[in-house]
Amino acid sequence: MSNPLLIAPHGPNGAYPFDQIKPEHFLPALNHAIEKAHEKLKQYKSDTRSSFKHVIQDKGDVTEQVDYIAGIFFNLHSAECPEDLQKISPEISEILTRFGNDISLDPVIFLKIKNCYDTRFDQHLSKEELTIIEKTYNSFVRNGALLADSEKMKLRELDEKMAKLTLAFSENVLKATNDFLLEIKDRKELDGLPDGVIEAAAELAQSKGKLGSWCFGLDIPSMLPFMTYAKNRELRKKLFFASSTKTYKTKFDNQDTLKEILKIRLERAKLLGYMTHADYVLEERMAMSPKKVMDFLNELLSKAKPHAEKDIIRLKNLAKELDGITDFQSYDNSYYSEILKKRDLNIDDEILRPYFKLENVVNGIFKVAQLLYGIQFQEVFNIPKYHEDVRTFEVYDEKGENFIGLFYTDFFPRPTKRSGAWMSAIKEQGMYHGKIERPHIMIVCNFTKPTKSKPSLLTLDEVLTLYHEFGHALHGLLSKVKYRDLSGTNVYWDFVELPSQIMENWVLEKECLDLFAVHYESGEKIPQELVIKIKESGKFLEGMATLRQLSFAFLDMSYHTCEPHEIKDIAQFEEQTISKTSLLPKLPDTSISTSFSHIFAGGYSAGYYSYKWAEVLDADAFEFFKTSGIFSREVASKFREYILEKGGTEHPMELYKKFRGQEPDVGALFRRAGLH
């Protein structure tokens, strides 16, 4: 059988052959690549040199094909994962974990790295070369290189179990999301919903074979408009409970998986000499320690909670005034928030949607990138794709002469795609077999789909999400380093959100909105009064929004600093942990933890705080932009040089100070949010 995964990519600009790759290709290709890698490892280990070039560059060549296959697999596992791919995922994960440990726990390989590390200052290395050897050495130590043989065996067992558990957690969330459908047969029960939402619900029902009905699922583009506009409180409650219990006490229950993940993380951390998983993680973060994270979160809590308490009182009073509701609940939040926003600001998503046609927003964000960084995006149709929804672009410099990278977009929900939004590097920028190559970057979202009568019209939140993920994409595309392990988003986790979150600021500025916000039917520019209201909406109920983010961050830190065996009841643990951020009673038999994929199946364990941490950085950085104009090439050039191009080649605080000229001011966040 010809296997496309074992042939060097030969598409335009090295594009990967997604149109040829099938689930049955992965296991044979991976086993073959690992066999060849082990042969190369024997040669690598037998070479007694400890020079930087041999130790680092040759090691990268050994694992390149395995890394290539693994990268494709995990990108597809998130973005386009049919049942055949799900079935092989535990075995793939186990094989890759075992192979990774074969390298990280090999004493001969570690000795070579240690010798290079010990002599690094005698080898006349560049700043980047010093960083990569230090990172490599620390990575081996943090993955058990200094353990006794018996402890290494234990670490292998833990890592292999963990790989299976995180995949199982993720797949349960996906299956549970796809399993639920709210079917409505009486049109009266759609009261309050905009026409576009009703049309999308009818199309979903038709696709599910439920003609004459309207259906809503648990993916955000379907669920959120219902929670925001549906007058029927009982149906809002039903949908909310379905979402809050989808992996809690159901056939997709994640409770045992969650507890086992926590148990293994703690056991692994202690085996490596750390008190908790959080201590292990934060050693390589800007925050450095659980105490510093908690101090930071508590400072934000003290600023935000008084504002949030006033916000919730206003919502409760509104619900009582309009509908006589005296037991305001979580499933009332979005509905009355939207009414209050319309009353206070005379604005809502349905007023804005016609100005946010997806194609216009995408063209607008490309224009922003051109104005700031002098780059251009050209759509191409000869790049292989993994799904028909994907669009592909070649990225060039301003003159169209120098190729910067490939860019893929994938915007609409489907049963084979996990929920949420993310950026991923299909191919990272950096060295491959001695040659520096440009990256292939993708952003994946779950936006409002077009219907038969309307194009995809985004909410303001969806526009902000697009700008956020595009910021990550720029971090990957504009990377200008030598070693892949330091390129693009390979930075400290509480720094990685700076390039993404800063992009959201442009959406709230008139100069940016004027680039793309035109009515999809009339072509009329968004009115000035709406621009002002969009700016005002950035602070609307910000106290509550901040508390919501803090609740996730506190929950994450509590899970990763506790003794897992003491958690008898997950819902109870959850309730106790987030009580200080809660404004409403927790509904019985619900759980956010069992579908908290960011920390149990993603990379955010003991790191969810980084969203707020990076908000301080982005608020401070955007104030710098505003001093010279939001499209200042001078400031953008500094941001590109010191933040976007440098990746993880230097400590993030040093890079930030080179860009900004000073350390970030936490007051910038409070000023922007109106919480000072």
Catalytic entry in 160, 350, 469, 645: 469
pLDDT digits (tens, 9 = 90+) for 129-154: 999 999 999 999 999 999 999 999 99
Average confidence (pLDDT) over 569-597:
95
CATH class (in words) of the domain with range 356-542+622-632:
mainly alpha
Reported as a pLDDT band with limits 50, 70 and 90, residue 543 is: very high
Among 324, 231, 287, 336, which residue's Cα sits nearest to residue 493?
287
pLDDT digits (tens, 9 = 90+) for 609-639: 999 999 999 999 999 999 999 999 999 999 9
Among 217, 243, 227, 239, which residue's Cα sits nearest to residue 449?
217
pLDDT digits (tens, 9 = 90+) for 247-265: 999 999 999 999 999 999 9
Q: Where are the domains of the chain?
A: 4-104+106-146, 180-244, 255-353+549-610, 356-542+622-632
Average confidence (pLDDT) over 167-190:
96
Reading across the β-sheet that carries 440-444, which strands appear in turn? 375-380, 391-397, 403-410, 440-444, 422-427
The tokens describing 599, both together, are 């920390």
The pLDDT of residue 676 is above 80: no
User: CA 505 to CA 512: how far, in whole Å?
Assistant: 10
Provide CATH code, domain 255-353+549-610. 1.10.1370.10
State the pLDDT at residue 675.
85
3-state helix, strand, coil in the chain (%, to 5): 60, 5, 30
pLDDT digits (tens, 9 = 90+) for 384-428: 999 999 999 999 999 999 999 999 999 999 999 998 999 999 999
User: CA 611 to CA 600: how far, in whole Å?
Assistant: 17
State the pLDDT at residue 581.
97
Residue 494 pairs in a beta bridge with none
Q: Do domains 255-353+549-610 and 356-542+622-632 have the same CATH topology?
A: yes
State the pLDDT at residue 458.
96
Quote the mean pLDDT of the chain: 96
Q: What is the 3-state secondary structure (H, E, C) of 353-414?
A: HHHCEHHHHHHHHHHHHHHHHCEEEEEECCCCCCCCCCEEEEEEECCCCCEEEEEEEECCCC
Provide CATH code, domain 4-104+106-146. 1.20.1050
Rounded to the nearest 5 degrees, what angle is found at the Cα of 256, between the Cα atoms of 253 and 257? 85
Of 157 and 433, the structure prediction assigns the larger pLDDT to 157
What secondary structure letter does DSSP report for 275?
Answer: S
pLDDT digits (tens, 9 = 90+) for 354-374: 999 999 999 999 999 999 999
469 catalytic per annotation: yes
The pLDDT of residue 1 is above 70: no
pLDDT digits (tens, 9 = 90+) for 475-528: 999 999 999 999 999 999 899 999 999 999 999 999 999 999 999 999 999 999
pLDDT digits (tens, 9 = 90+) for 5-24: 999 998 999 999 999 999 99
User: CA 676 to CA 667: how far, in whole Å?
Assistant: 8
Judge contact between 145 and 272, C-beta under 8 A.
no
115 Cβ contact partners less than 8 Å away, ≥ 6 residues apart? 50, 55
Average confidence (pLDDT) over 301-307:
96
Among 198, 177, 104, which residue's Cα sits nearest to residue 146?
104
User: CA 298 to CA 302: how far, in whole Å?
Assistant: 6
